[in-house]
């Protein structure tokens, strides 16, 4: 790879929709490539599609990347030496460069109306012709005549002259991942429009002009754009410019082998965020889609052992290389992403995890918002749920019983297997006797106490604890019981047990 010129890469989305995970992967690889070589990462908004571009999608882009922790060195909101970085604000430049192509004989004015183009298309369909694209009807109009017609006010576009066979049958370029590419010019869209009749550019003209003027050294983009590259190379040569280096990244597919989309699950950054994914987990996993890295750089909780495939953004940048990209499509595995999310949840300390989970806690507190005391309990409860949580909403959902009395459980929930209701009530009364002490003991002390009582009463430890768990949490399955008792406090725990015993006594009296 030649690094004679500064590394400058760009993420150039069209603000016509929410930020998709495929776009995030493209942006991330550009960011990592620039960071790995001390280059510059640029954001450019390619809003040439005026009918679909929406400021709301621009705002979504900013918010998504702020959440992910990715920042560009130059862009619409940060400025830079090549501002403006929004194509709709650069229209005069595109008109000037379209004129340059006209002057060089590499482009021409086209006066074909939409009605004529539509008629040609219908005629081809009726005759089952395999020919597609523009028929080059205006290609040979003398320049003087074309200029005069345009000056007289006749509507026209500007089209690029795609080389015909006499000028060479193919366009060749090198792709850093795919190698040498040879593309027949006959397979390139015939003489595409560069400047529309309203003076606004098409994507192709704006893209090439901006990449050149902004000094873009490498174009890293998805393989779906590979078919556009021959056209862009032809345009670079028409201007007499050196093209950037191209690298078309492997596609991101669902497990069914089709391009990743909403039908596979969450696809937009907004959806992942709403579902309770952490940005670090998303970045870490997406960075592995189509790329490999060195040994991971995180740790098992409570030790200094590194955990494979866990990387910070800085570590990803330090290890990133185009030579480590894979040609084959990457398969998006939601189960692997969930694993990553769980790992990053476990890396958070109590305060950080509570702050992340609290926005998902609506409805679990006594009032509309958590009081200071409830926040303290919520934070203190993080060790109870951290090890099994996969998504942030899991956390408050599992802790609701700490803040509101759970609904009365069906009587059968209190009854251990192979025992009866009367035996379950007796076990719960044993547990009640232990509650004041359990509320004051740590886990080790509480475990020793209940084991001693179970042995003394010749009952199974699980049978002793199950009715108590059901009475306190409303379920046989809950976060660790001893920690829950300490957070509830003896008085609240006793009140819940008494409610459960009254329910059992009523059932026994029937």
pLDDT, tens digit, for every residue of 271-318? 999 999 999 999 999 999 999 986 444 333 333 334 568 999 999 999
> Could you give the 3-state DSSP secondary structure of residue 256?
coil
Sheet with 170-175, strands from edge to edge, namely 179-184, 170-175, 245-249, 218-222
Residue 92 class from Cβ within 10 Å (0-12 exposed, 13-18 middle, 19+ buried)?
Answer: exposed
82-91, 298-307, 357-366, 413-422: least confidently modelled range: 298-307
Percentage of residues of the chain with pLDDT beyond 90 = 87
* Residue with more model confidence, 425 or 4: 425
Q: Which two tokens stand for residue 2?
A: 């030649």
Do β-strands 8-11 and 40-43 pair in parallel, antiparallel, or remain unpaired? parallel
CB of 171 closer than 8 Å to CB of 188:
yes
Catalytic residue among 262, 324, 327, 451: 262
User: What's the whole-number average pLDDT of the chain?
Assistant: 93
Mean pLDDT value across residues 96-105: 98
* Nearest Cα residue to 342 out of 292, 271, 276: 276
Q: Residue 39: pLDDT above 70?
A: yes
Query: Please, which pLDDT band fits residue 457 given cuts at 50, 70 and 90?
Result: very high
Cα gap 206→195, rounded to integer Å: 9
Q: The whole model's pTM is what?
A: 0.90
Cα gap 66→60, rounded to integer Å: 10
63-67, 207-211, 267-271, 461-465: least confidently modelled range: 267-271
Query: Please, which pLDDT band fits residue 73 given cuts at 50, 70 and 90?
Result: very high
Q: Which two tokens stand for residue 183?
A: 């593309």
Domain 405-510 has what CATH class?
A: mainly alpha
Residue 288 class from Cβ within 10 Å (0-12 exposed, 13-18 middle, 19+ buried)?
Answer: middle
Cα gap 129→28, rounded to integer Å: 43
CA 168 from chain centre, in angstroms, equals 43
The pLDDT, as a whole number, for residue 258 is 81
The pLDDT, as a whole number, for residue 308 is 65
CB of 226 closer than 8 Å to CB of 253:
no
Mean pLDDT value across residues 9-36: 96
Which H/E stretch holds residue 344? helix 334-347
* Apex 285 CA angle, 279 and 290, nearest 5: 140
Q: Residue 413: pLDDT above 50?
A: yes
The pLDDT, as a whole number, for residue 462 is 96
Residue 262 appears among annotated catalytic residues? yes
The pLDDT, as a whole number, for residue 366 is 86
């Amino acid at each position: 790879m030649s690094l004679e010129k500064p590394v400058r890469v760009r993420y150039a989305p069209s603000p016509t929709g929410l930020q998709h995970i495929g776009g995030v992967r493209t942006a991330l690889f550009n960011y990592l490539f620039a960071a790995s070589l001390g280059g510059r990462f640029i954001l450019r908004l390619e809003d040439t599609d005026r009918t679909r571009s929406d400021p709301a999608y621009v705002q979504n882009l900013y918010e998504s990347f702020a959440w992910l922790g990715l920042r560009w060195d130059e862009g619409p909101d940060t400025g830079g030496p090549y501002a403006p970085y929004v194509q709709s604000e650069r229209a005069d430049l595109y008109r000037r460069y379209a004129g340059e192509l006209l002057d060089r004989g590499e482009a021409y004015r086209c006066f074909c109306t939409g009605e004529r183009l539509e008629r040609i298309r219908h005629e081809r369909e009726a005759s089952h012709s395999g020919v597609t694209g523009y028929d080059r009807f205006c290609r040979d109009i003398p320049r003087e005549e074309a200029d005069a017609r345009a000056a007289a006010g006749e509507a026209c576009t500007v089209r690029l002259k795609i080389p015909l066979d006499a000028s060479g049958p193919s366009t060749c370029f090198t792709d850093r991942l795919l190698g040498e590419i040879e593309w027949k010019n006959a397979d390139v869209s015939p003489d595409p429009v560069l400047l529309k009749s309203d003076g606004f550019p098409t994507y192709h003209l704006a893209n090439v002009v901006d990449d050149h003027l902004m000094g873009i050294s490498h174009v890293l983009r998805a393989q779906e754009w590979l078919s556009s590259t021959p056209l862009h190379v032809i345009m670079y040569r028409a201007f007499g410019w050196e093209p950037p280096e191209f690298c078309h990244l492997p596609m991101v597919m669902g497990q069914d082998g089709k391009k990743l989309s909403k039908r596979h699950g969450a696809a937009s950054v907004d959806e992942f965020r709403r579902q309770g994914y952490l940005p670090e987990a998303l970045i870490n996993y997406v960075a592995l889609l189509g790329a490999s890295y060195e040994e991971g750089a995180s740790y098992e909780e409570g030790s200094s052992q590194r955990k494979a495939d866990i990387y910070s953004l800085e570590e990803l940048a330090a290890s990133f290389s185009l030579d480590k990209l894979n040609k084959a499509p990457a398969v998006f595995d939601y189960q692997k992403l969930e694993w990553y999310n769980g790992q990053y949840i476990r890396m958070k300390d109590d305060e950080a995890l509570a702050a992340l989970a609290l926005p998902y806690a609506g409805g679990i507190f006594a009032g509309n918002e958590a009081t200071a005391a409830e926040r303290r309990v919520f934070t203190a409860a993080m060790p109870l749920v951290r090890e099994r949580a996969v998504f942030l909403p899991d956390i408050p959902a599992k802790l609701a019983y700490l803040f509101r009395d759970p609904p009365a459980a069906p009587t059968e929930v209190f009854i251990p297997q192979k025992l009866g209701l009367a035996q379950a009530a007796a076990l719960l009364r044993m547990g009640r006797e232990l509650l004041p002490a359990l509320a004051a003991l740590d886990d080790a002390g509480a475990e020793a106490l209940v084991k001693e009582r179970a042995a003394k009463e010749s009952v199974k430890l699980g049978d002793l604890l199950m009715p108590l768990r059901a009475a306190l949490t409303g379920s046989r399955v809950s976060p660790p019981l001893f920690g829950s008792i300490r957070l509830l406090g003896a008085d609240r725990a006793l009140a819940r047990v008494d409610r459960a015993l009254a329910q059992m006594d009523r059932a026994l009296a029937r």
